[in-house]
Amino acid sequence: MRLDVRLPIGVLFSMLGALVAAYGAATRGQPGTAPTGVPIDLVWGLVLLAFGALMLLLARRAAGHHGPPSGKGEDLPSG
């Protein structure tokens, strides 16, 4: 069994993104948390969460492509 590096990266970034986004949502509207008007913790938490979800999706998709060969030679070019 081969471990795809996208799986642990996806888990790490998803968990970190969820924590940062939750912190950003919890402190939203408090003085000093968004000097520019944009809740930076919430935005970057969602970006990290999206990246982690993408890595998990790619790891899951790659795991489906490594199935055993059929042995019938259908995938091999003829000639």
Tokens of 40: 């930076």
Question: What pTM was estimated for this model as a whole?
Answer: 0.74
Is the pLDDT confidence value at 39 over 80? yes
Q: How confident is residue 12, by pLDDT bands cut at 50, 70 and 90?
A: very high
pLDDT at 78: 61
Is the pLDDT confidence value at 73 over 60? no
CA neighbor of 45 nearest in space, from 12, 21, 11, 14:
21
- Name the packing angle between helices 40-64 and 6-26 (round to 10°): 160
Q: How confident is residue 33, by pLDDT bands cut at 50, 70 and 90?
A: confident
pLDDT at 13: 98
In this structure, is residue 72 part of a structural domain? no
Q: What share of the chain is helix, strand, coil (3-state, %, to 5)?
A: 60, 0, 40
In this structure, is residue 4 part of a structural domain? no
In this structure, is residue 38 part of a structural domain? yes
- Structural domain including 22 reads 11-64
pLDDT at 67: 59
Q: Return the C-alpha torsion angle 17, 22, 24, 29, nearest 10.
A: 160
Give the count of domains, the chain: 1
